[in-house]
Amino acid sequence: MNLHGWIDAYMSHLHVERALTKNTLDAYGHDLARLAGTVGDVDPARIDSAAIARLLVDNIATGFGARSSARQLSALRGFFRFLVRERAIEGDPTSLVDRPQLGRRLPRVLSFEEMQRLLAAPDATKDRGARDAAMFHLMYASGLRVTELVSLRVDDLDLARGVVMPLGKGGKRRLVPVGEVALSMLTHYIKNVRPRALKKPTSALFVSPSCGRFSRQGFWRLLKRYATAAGIRTPISPHKLRHSFATHLVRGGADLRAVQAMLGHADLGTTEIYTHVARDQVRAAHAKAHPRA
Q: Is residue 25 part of a domain?
A: yes
Q: Are 250 and 138 contained in the same domain?
A: yes
Q: Domain of 29?
A: 3-96
Domain edge (last residue) among 96, 125, 156: 96
Q: Which of 28, 140, 226, 274 is catalytic?
A: 274
Domains held by the chain: number = 2
C-beta contacts of 191-199 below 8 A and 24+ residues apart: 192/130, 193/127, 193/130, 193/131, 194/131, 196/127, 197/127, 197/131
Q: Which of 131, 242, 243, 248 is catalytic?
A: 242
Domain edge (last residue) among 47, 66, 96: 96
Does residue 265 have an active-site annotation? yes
Q: Is residue 71 part of a domain?
A: yes
Q: Are 67 and 119 contained in the same domain?
A: no
Does residue 290 have an active-site annotation? no
Q: Are 252 and 160 contained in the same domain?
A: yes
Q: Is residue 28 part of a domain?
A: yes
Q: Is residue 104 part of a domain?
A: no
Does residue 145 have an active-site annotation? yes
Q: Are 133 and 91 contained in the same domain?
A: no
Residue 127 zone, left/alpha/beta (φ > 0; ψ -120 to 50; rest): alpha
What is each CA distance from 51 to 11, 36, 41, 236, in whole angstroms?
21, 11, 13, 39
pLDDT in tens, the chain (293 residues): 899 999 999 999 998 888 888 888 898 899 899 889 888 999 999 998 888 888 877 877 676 667 777 888 888 999 999 999 999 999 999 887 877 665 555 567 888 899 999 999 999 999 999 999 999 999 999 999 999 999 999 999 999 999 999 998 878 899 999 989 999 999 999 999 999 888 888 899 998 877 678 888 889 999 999 999 999 988 898 988 888 888 888 888 888 888 888 888 877 766 666 665 545 444 444 344 444 44
Q: Are 75 and 162 contained in the same domain?
A: no
Q: Is residue 260 part of a domain?
A: yes
What confidence score (pLDDT) does residue 17 get?
Answer: 85
Q: Are 87 and 61 contained in the same domain?
A: yes
Domain edge (last residue) among 49, 68, 96: 96
Q: Is residue 106 part of a domain?
A: no
Q: Are 152 and 25 contained in the same domain?
A: no
Q: Are 76 and 126 contained in the same domain?
A: no
Q: Which of 85, 99, 239, 279 is catalytic?
A: 239
In SS3 terms, the chain reads as CCHHHHHHHHHHHHHHCCCCCHHHHHHHHHHHHHHHHHHCCCCHHHCCHHHHHHHHHHHHHCCCCHHHHHHHHHHHHHHHHHHHHCCCCCCCHHHHCCCCCCCCCCCCCCCHHHHHHHHHCCCCCCHHHHHHHHHHHHHHHHCCCHHHHHCCEHHHEECCCCEECCECHHHCECCEECCHHHHHHHHHHHHHHHHHHCCCCCCECCECCCCCECCHHHHHHHHHHHHHHCCCCCCCCHHHHHHHHHHHHHHCCCCHHHHHHHHCCCCHHHHHHHHHHHHHHHHHHHHHHCCCC
Q: Are 60 and 175 contained in the same domain?
A: no
Q: Domain with 242 in it: what CATH number?
A: 1.10.443.10
Q: Are 75 and 119 contained in the same domain?
A: no
Q: Domain with 18 in it: what CATH number?
A: 1.10.150.130
Q: Are 33 and 66 contained in the same domain?
A: yes
Q: Which of 145, 240, 243, 248 is catalytic?
A: 145
Q: Are 128 and 263 contained in the same domain?
A: yes
Does residue 274 have an active-site annotation? yes
Q: Which of 15, 128, 265, 276 is catalytic?
A: 265
